[in-house]
Each structure stands twice: as C-alpha cells, then as structure tokens.
Amino acid sequence: MSEVTTPRPIALIILAAGQGSRMMSDLPKPLHKLGGMPLIAHALFAGAALEPARIIVVTGHGADAVERAVDDLMPFATCVRQERQLGTGHAVLQAAGALADFEGDALVLYADTPFVSVDTLAAMQAARAQHDVVVLGFDAADPGRYGRLVLDGDTLSRIVEAKDATPDELAITTCNSGLLVADAQTLMRLLADVTNTNAAGEYYLTDVPALAKAQGLRATAILCPEAETLGINSRAELAAAETAFQAAKRAEMLENGVAMQAPETVIFALDTWVGQDAEVEPHVVFGPGVTVENGARIRAFSHLEGCHVSAGAVIGPYARLRPGAEIGNDARIGNFVEVKEAQIGEGAKVNHLSYIGDATVGEGSNIGAGTVTCNYDGVMKHRTTIGRNAFIGSDTMLVAPVTVGHNAMTASGSVITEDIPDGALAIGRAKQVTKPGLAVKLMDRLRAIKASKKD
C-alpha cells in the first residue's frame, strides 16, 4: 500500500505592486475587472482552493486602493508594501517579515495572471514533495520576451530572461510563467543572495533555481497549457481575456446542465453559480455574488448582482436584482421590477413596474403594478414588512417604516403611512373631486394661449 503524503502548510504570496502603465489608466492594474471582479480576485480565489495558512499580498502602485480591495475580498489576508519596484525577487522578499515564523511552503502568484487553474496549483504543490523549488512553465507558440527554462531532464538548472539570453537559449520554447513554490524560509534565504547584475538592473525571482542548484537543492518545472499563463498588460489583452473567460464560463454552465438558447449573449461573473436545469434566456448579465438554484428561470435582458434566486423562481424579462435580494421558491419577479435588500417569500409575485427595497414580502403575497416601498427619507433607510398572502393594489406607495399584515389589502393608488392589521383593507388616497365641463374649457384656453404666442 502506497504512503499518502500530506501537503505541507502553504502560504500565498501574491504580487500586486506593478504600475501597469500600458493599461493607460489611473486605476491600479490589479483592480481592473475580469469576469465582473478585480484581476487580483482571480489569483486570490484560485490560491484559496489550496486552503493556505496565510495570504500575503505585496502592494506598491496604488497601494491604498489595492489594499482596500483585498480587505473586501479576503479580510484575513495580510498586505505588505514594496515602496520601490526593484523587480520580482525584491517584491517577494517584502513578505519575509510576515512569514518570519512560518513553517511551510510559499507559493508565488501574480495579480495580473488570472487563468492559472486550481489543478495546476495543486500539481505544483504535489511536486514540492520531491523537489526543493518548483517552477511553473509552458511551451510557448511564440517565446518572444518570455524567460526560458533551461532543463536537464526533470532538473531545472536555471531561468534565463530573454533580454539576457544567448542565441541558443533564445531557441528554447519552454518558458517561465513566473509562478514558483518552495519552502518559505529557503525561498527567503535564496532571495537574500539575489543580485541586480543584469540588463534591467532588477532583482529577479528567476535567479532562485540557479541559486538553489548552487546550494545543492533540487529545482524542477511542471508545465501547464499556455492559455493558463496569460498575463494582462494592456486594455487589448484585458478585452481578449474577458472573451476567453466568458467562453470558458459559458461552456462550464452548459456542461453543468444550465439551459441557454443564446449562450454567447450571456455575461457571467467569476463567482456566478447556476444550478442544474435552470434556464438563462438571452442577454442576461450576472454581476458578482449571484447564486441561482435548480430549475429557476432568468428571462431575457435581466441584470442580477449580489442576490440569491431559489428553485422554481422566475425573474424578468427586464428585471433588476440588486445586492441583498433573496427570491424564494417559485416566486415571480416580472418586467421592469427592481429588488434591493429584500426578501421575497415563496410563491410571492411582483410582476410589473415596481420597486421593492429594504423589505420583506411574505409567501403568497401579490404586489400590484407601480408599487414602491419608499425606503429612504433622505438620511436613513427604513424597512417595509408585508405579511403572508397580502394583496398590494397597483400604484401603492408604502412609506417605510410600515407593516402590512397577513391577508391584508391596499386599495389602488394609496399612500400607506400607517401599519395595516391582519385581514384589513387600507385606503390612503384623497377624495376625488369632479368638475363637469372643465376639461374642455381648460384645453380650449391653453390652445388659445399657445396660438397667441405664434402671432
């Protein structure tokens, strides 16, 4: 029986300090969005699948903004700053203090390399059991400016940057992705010996394999598809990456049993989850934080973000679910309805032209067309609570805070400012006054005034 090797504790070091000048943007490169989320989220989420003991993010350009984003995405991550961008080796070395007492491996990732798969990271981690340093490489169709991996069998002798390579080394097509895993303390010790005697005058992380070999340590490389190593350095590359991301996400959804008549028109986010036998009609946009359960239907031209749609619910067409929307089993959210920070109960219906915000709608209730929960007083938000099997008449304004009881009703056109008991009917509209003949007289007068202005 073969012995099972338990992976060592692992720490992620994510490099996010570069300026990204080719993006032509004031926004730091790690914060440009791919699949609805910042680039850095892709590296964080992929690395998190390894269940790391620590996550260290090295920031630099736009550090304040990047650190706020990291805190939102993974509050337990630690950010350290590279005040001067002196190369990748120098950047990784900034994590030394945060890992001073860490006994385990360190995996170096890049905020602008979003497609490295969890399987590839796991393969790197597994290879560490037999090697001191593991580098991720790929066979490049056009090696160009990539660093070359100089291999002797499965032993990685060194990595040569393209600008420092000889003609023979430039002929090598196995290239460096930049990702590396090693014992954390060994990595920091090796980095302390890195110099900047190279064409760029920078401290290269790529010097680590050669330094390891010189100290009698074993380095190797594992290979992944070139598509996984795509780095984002320009708006054009970001657009190409978005196309690739959406194609892969649509294929994943179809493979998982989601029905889509025109998948090429549907936009997904990195963390979108849609269940089996759910149906997504054309031109639907999923922002971050959306889960859709089995058998739900998202109709055309709807936009969802930060929400949960339960089994059997129907959304849209032309509906908007904003963050905090919780749609119950078999509920209906119809055309031109917006829901925000609201719970819609099982079987409830909000079918037409309504805004339901900061509210709870009980199961089986029916919300008439043109209903608005008036939740904002200009300073604070207030909540509306609607009970089970209530009927809200069309064009009702529910001025929060207000409660509508179970089986209660409102008359169409009402402005409701007081709580309605269970089973009661509330009428909150002004008395109608009718003036016979006044409409014709008023219109004749207005037309005369208009005609006089033309003379």
Reported as a single tens digit per residue, the pLDDT across 1-30 is 445 567 799 999 999 998 888 999 999 999
Query: What's the start-to-end Cα distance of the chain, in Å?
Result: 104
Average pLDDT over residues 320-331: 98
Q: Catalytic amino acids? A: 352
Share of the chain above pLDDT 90, in %: 91
Average pLDDT over residues 332-361: 98
- Arithmetic mean of pLDDT over the chain: 95
Q: Which domains does the chain have, with CATH numbers?
A: 10-229 (3.90.550.10), 235-426 (2.160.10.10)
Reported as a single tens digit per residue, the pLDDT across 169-201 is 999 999 999 999 999 999 999 999 999 887 778
Report how far residue 252's alpha carbon sits from residue 39's, in angstroms, rounded to the nearest whole number. Answer: 20
According to DSSP, the residues that pair with 366 across neighbouring strands are 349, 391
Instruction: Give the amino acid at 434.
Output: T
Query: Hey, what are 378's tokens?
Result: 């200009």
Contact 341, 324 (CB under 8 A): yes
Grade residue 335 by pLDDT with cuts at 50, 70 and 90. very high
Torsion (CA) 416, 418, 423, 424 in degrees, nearest 10: -70
Report how far residue 279's alpha carbon sits from residue 286's, in angstroms, rounded to the nearest whole number. Answer: 13
For residue 451, with 0-12 CB atoms within 10 Å meaning exposed, 13-18 middle and 19 or more buried, which class applies?
A: exposed
* pLDDT, position 202: 87
Reported as a single tens digit per residue, the pLDDT across 134-180 is 999 999 999 988 999 999 999 999 999 888 889 999 999 999 999 99
Instruction: Identify the CA nearest to 149 among candidates 223, 230, 91.
Output: 223
